[in-house]
Amino acid sequence: MNASTTHSVSLSDLRFGYDKRLPTVLHGLSLDIPPGTITAILGPNGAGKTTLLHIILGLLSPQAGKILIDGKPQTSYSRRQMSRLIGLVPQSEYIPFEFSVLEFVLLGRAPYLGPFEMPGEADRHIALEALQSIGLEHLQDRPAPALSGGERQLAMVARALAQKPRILLLDEPTSHLDLSNRDRILNALRALANDGVTIIFTTHDPNLVATTADYVVLMRQGALLSAGPIATTLTAKHLSATYGLPVEVVNLHGRPFIIS
């Protein structure tokens, strides 16, 4: 991995709430995401994981705190620059038009096109490569709204890959997938990380983290409980605090395996 191609994310004392009349969703959160790694944000429902992704992407603005991307304030980037730098795979997405799967994936090339410019042959090649990398090329002509839930999840990942981001955010990326398709996505993420892309994904599944991530961030009720490498952070003590119940961690093939 070439260190010069990696991109970092640094958060300092973030505070965010959707409504001043309600408790804050994130409060006093400070975190440095290691560049060029696969980082998992792990925690129960309501921990603030999705909100944190949307703040990193710039879809939400914190009430306080600083966000640095590659050492520069997030606000110093234009929307076009951010779209080229950071990609997002949401949990789900409504597809309002009868795009084919290939046309849907080509939407990932939008940050590189001018107003009213249509994707060219090079863009089409990149989109087809993205589909091939996750095994969806045989469905390229199928209407995207007709895809199953798992196929739609794969198509959203392919669109993000076509975007060629240097930081990729994924919100519960394997939630709708069977074991085979889950492995396709995880293999694609590992290949991206090996190429210097910084991967950040949310999940509530600690065993997915144990088998996939290099680094883990543990969250509960909008607060950061612990962050660090898998070996030192994915422990029974830390996980019990994260989920509020006794958790046992055993070693399986050199990786932790979590039993609750």
Distance CA 119, CA 100 (A): 14
Structure tokens at 187: 């293999």
DSSP state of 118: P
Pick 50 or 96 by higher pLDDT: 50
At 6, is the pLDDT very low, low, confident or very high (cuts 50, 70, 90)? low
Print the domain residue range for 221: 3-259
Indicate if the pLDDT at residue 4 is higher than 60. Answer: no
Q: What is the mean pLDDT of residues 145-167?
A: 93
Q: Which residue has the higher pLDDT, 22 or 123?
A: 123
% of the chain at pLDDT higher than 70: 97
What does pLDDT average to over the chain?
91
H or E element that contains 244: none
What's the CATH code of the domain at 245? 3.40.50.300
Per-residue pLDDT band for 250 (boundaries 50, 70, 90) equals confident
Model confidence, pTM: 0.92
Q: Average the pLDDT over 168-189 and give the result.
A: 90
Band of pLDDT at residue 158, cut at 50, 70 and 90: very high
Average pLDDT over every residue of 139-150? 92
- Region 100-108: what's the mean pLDDT? 96
Q: How confident is the model at residue 233 (pLDDT cuts 50, 70, 90)?
A: very high
Of 93-97, 112-116, 163-167, where does mean pLDDT reach its minimum? 93-97
How many structural domains is the chain composed of? 1
pLDDT tens for 27-53 read: 899 999 989 999 999 999 889 999 999
For 134, list phi and psi in degrees, rounded to 5: -115, 15
Helix or strand holding residue 201 (H, E): strand 198-203
- State the DSSP H helix or E strand holding residue 115, giving kind and residue range, or none if neither: none
Q: For residues 108 and 184, which has the higher predicted lDDT (pLDDT)?
A: 108
pLDDT single digits (tens) 63-87: 999 999 988 999 999 999 999 999 9
Cα angle vertex 44, ends 222, 160, to 5°? 85
